[in-house]
Structure 1
Amino acid sequence: MSLLTAAICCIGFGTTLFIESNGFSVSTLNTRPDTFGNYLTSSFAIVFNLSLLSAGCCLILAMIAIFFTFPDMLSRYIAIAGATVGLSILLMGIFPINFIDWHRKISTLYLLSSFVLHVLCVPDFFKHNSTMSKTVVSLSAIGIVSTVSLMLQLDWKLLDFPPCDHMDNSFCTVSLSMWVLTHINILWCITLSLRMRTHIKQQQSVIMQSHWANL
C-alpha cells in the first residue's frame, strides 16, 4: 500500500506539473505545490486533488497494517502518526486551496504530523529488530529539517505562509521546503515498503525454520 501511495502521488503530481508548467523547469520549485489544486487557476486540479485523496486512503491502510503487524508501542505511534499524515493528505484533496480556511488547518496538521512521524522514525531505527533501514531514517532526517524550516516560516496566527518575492530571482524557501517535504514523504513510503517486505520475508523464514525444527 505504501508503494501504491507513492505511485499515485507521482502520477498525479507529475501529470499536473507537466501540463500546468509546460514541462518541468527550475521555476516550478518557486510555485507552491498546493496551488496546483486550485480549481480556479489549474485546469488539472481535479487530477491533482483526486491523487491526494487516493494516496491518503492508501497511506492510512498501510499504517493500519503496520499498527496490527508490529505490537511494540513505538511502531504503533509511528503508525498513528503516519495515518494522521494520510488523513491530512486525503482531506487536502477534499478541501484544496479554494477552501482557504479549511485548507490552512489541514495543511498545518499535515506539517505537524509529518514532523512527528519523521522524529519517531529516528529512535525506532536504534531499537532491536527495527523496521527502519538507514535509507528510511536518512530520509526522515531530511524530513525533520524541511518540516522545521516550514514551521519557522509559518504564520501561526493565520496558519499560512508569507508570499515569496522573486524580484532578485532567488528561490522561494517556502515553496522549496514544501517540494522537499513532498518528495521526501513519497520516497519514505517507497523505502519503507521495501524494508517492510524484506522484514516480513525474514519473519516468515524464521517461522518456517521453527516449524520444521519442531517436526
Structure 2
Amino acid sequence: MDGGGGIGELVPTKDSDDVLEEVTLVNDVDLADNSSNGFVIDRHRNRLLLAVGDLLGNRYSALVAYDLSTWSHLFLTVLSSHNDVAVDTQGNAYVSDAKGGKIWIVDVNGKLVYTIRSPLFTSPGWYNNFVSLNGIVYHPDGFLIVIHTFSGFLYKIDANGDISSKVTIIDVSGGNLRFGDGLEFLSPTKISKSKTQYGLLRELGISIWEF
C-alpha cells in the first residue's frame, strides 16, 4: 500500500468476480508515509514478511513481520535500503537492496545477521546501478535467484544464511531482462519475471542447476 504503511487484500466484489476491491488488513501507524513493497508469506511460521520504506527519499527502510492469524506485529528490523524479500526453510529472510547492491540477511527472530556482497552485483556504468538488486525468490533446493533491474542480470546465490554464499550469473537466452522487477517460481524449473516499465510478465525456463 502506497503511503499507508500497511497491508491490503484484493477480493472480488459482490457484483462481479472481474472487479477487485482493496480491503485493508493492516494499517500500521508507525509506518505511515512509507510504501509497502516486496513481501513473502512464510507459511511454516504463519507470518508475512514485508519490506517497507520511503522509496523516493530513501530516508527509511525496514523489514516487518506480521502474524497471519492476528496481524499482530512480530518484529521490525531497520535497514538502510530495501526492495524485495524472500524466506528460506529456516525462516531467514533475504532482503534485496536496490540502492546499495547487496542482500541483507535477517534471522527468524528479526536480527540482522549478515550482508551478502559481490562484485558481480555492480554492473559497468553508473547508470546501470541506479536501481540494482530487485526481485528475489528462494528455491527449496537451497539457493536464491535475484534480478538486477537496470542491467538485466539474473543471479543465482547459494542460500547458506551467512556471508559465504556463492554468487554466479545465470545465462538467459531469448532477450534482455533489463527493467526486470518481481520474480516468482511457477515450477521447480520455471520462473516468471515482471517488467517495471511496462507491467509485463515473462516466463523463463532456466537451467539453474548447472552452476
Please tell me the TM-score bracket, short chain as reference. Answer: under 0.3
TM-score by length of 1: 0.22
- The structure whose RCO (Cα within 8 Å, separation 6+) is larger is 1
TM-score by length of 2: 0.22
User: Considering only CA atoms, is the larger Rg found in Structure 1 or Structure 2?
Assistant: 1
Relative to total residues, which structure has the larger strand share, 1 or 2? 2
